[in-house]
Chains A and B, each alone.
Chain A
Amino acid sequence: MRFLALFIIFLLFPWESGFSQISNARRSGYDFMSRETRAMQDDDGANPGTLGVLDGEALWKKKEGAAEKACADCHGDATKSMKGVAARYPAVAPDKKSPVNIEQRINACRVDHQRAEPLPYESRDLLALTAYVGQQSRGMPITISGNDQTKRFVEAGREAFMRRQGQINLSCKQCHDDNPGKHLAGSVIPQAHPTGYPIYRLEWQSLGSLQRRLRNCLSGMRTEVPELGSPELVELELYLMWRARGMKVETPAVRP
């Protein structure tokens, strides 16, 4: 009887308990990099992402838009007000229907409160702001929960992660869940935990967002690549952050 009760409880929350079994085996992309690339991330004076963070710090104080307001005018000192914020994005606002990522949240603030134009995705300024805000969560655990608000979006992202797609009928899971640590051509396959975004990617020689990285992967998988900011990408981001929950934020990370 007790076994039946336990079994029913297990069925009710399959994705929660199934996940916790592999949580001890989770490793950041940092662990899969070479010694030299890790050294680049470890030292702020050697990390090219720091240049973006400094730009973001300057933008934080800059008055923008028809409202002539800076982020600092409402949010004050980012080192205090933004602590832990990036660690819980993507998130669903109480009055909104679907999740937004940190880039969309920043742009919403720009449009609604600064009365300025939204910054284009992957623009230098937006990357600088997300790097600056992200760094305020550095060292803190990612805190995405599968609650009533987010559960169905996390599920949608998980379904996308598990789905075989594209010309080579490949799923994200096949590389990142089933074969991390092995090689794809000359590159090591990481577990795909977005702990350090926006990252300074050596391949790009610049900062870039998680969505840029996802689109990079999807184009390599020879499948349809959604537009930046599309709901499918935000859901996938949300799933990946939920999958990485508890892991420490490393923004701005360096990756090969």
Chain B
Amino acid sequence: MQDAIGKVVGGAVINKGKVTLELPQLVENGNTVSMTVKVDSPMTQDSYVKAIHVFTEKNPQPNVVSFHLGPRSGRATVATRIRLADSQTVTAIAQMSDGTFWSQNVDVVVTLAACLEVI
């Protein structure tokens, strides 16, 4: 996951804060997990969120999604549904127009469904 984050962020410092990553703490089913990311930003021409990147620690591939926003977004709130393979840490990183990066981590617990299907 660190390599994937490095590709996006380069050598820049990732600050904690401004980002709110909403995920259920106990995931009902890892195949479809509702996720919302909100970033505290005025979203004006001078100061806006350029992108929101989401990464996971234990999925087979660390990248989940990258959203690209701009001043025309009005506010920096996006939502989608993701897959989580295991209990792990999910990280959302906001890339700001001024070149700074901000992030938040959330730990989630994911269990397998009780009775697996044999097709």
Are A185 and B112 interface neighbours, CB within 8 A? Answer: yes
Which residue from A36, A185, A221 sits with its C-beta under 8 Å from B24? A36
A205 → chain B, closest Cβ, in Å? 5
| Distance of A39 Cα from B49 Cα, bound (Å) | 27
List residues of chain A with CB within 8 A of the CB of B15.
Answer: none
In the assembled complex, how far is the CB of residue B46 from the closest CB belonging to chain A, in whole angstroms? 34
Nearest 8 interchain pairs by C-beta: A220-B115, A186-B111, A202-B29, A202-B32, A36-B34, A187-B114, A184-B114, A256-B28
CB closest chain-A residue, reference B117: A216
Contact mask for chain A residues 156-187; partner B; CB cutoff 8 A; 1 contact, 0 none: 00000000000000000000000000001111
Q: Which A179-224 residues have C-beta < 8 A from chain B?
A: 184-187, 202-205, 215-217, 219-221
**Contact-residue size bin, chain B (C-beta under 8 Å from the other chain):** 10 to 19
Question: Once the chains bind, are A220 and B116 in contact (CB under 8 Å)?
Answer: yes
- Tell me the total A-B contact number using a CB cutoff of 8 A: 51
Cβ-based interface call for B66 (8 A): no
Query: Which residues from chain B contact A202 at a C-beta distance below 8 Å?
Result: 28-29, 31-32
Q: Which residues of B contact A225 (CB under 8 A)?
A: 118
B12 at interface, CB cutoff 8 A:
no
In the bound assembly, the distance between CA atoms of A205 and B32 in angstroms comes to 8
Could you tell me the distance between the alpha carbons of A219 and B117 in the complex, rounded to whole angstroms? 7
In whole angstroms, what is the CA distance A185 to B29 when docked?
A: 12
A34-B24, A36-B24 are contacts. A216–B115 as well, Cβ < 8 Å? yes
- The residues of A that contact B31 with a CB separation of less than 8 Å are 202-203, 205
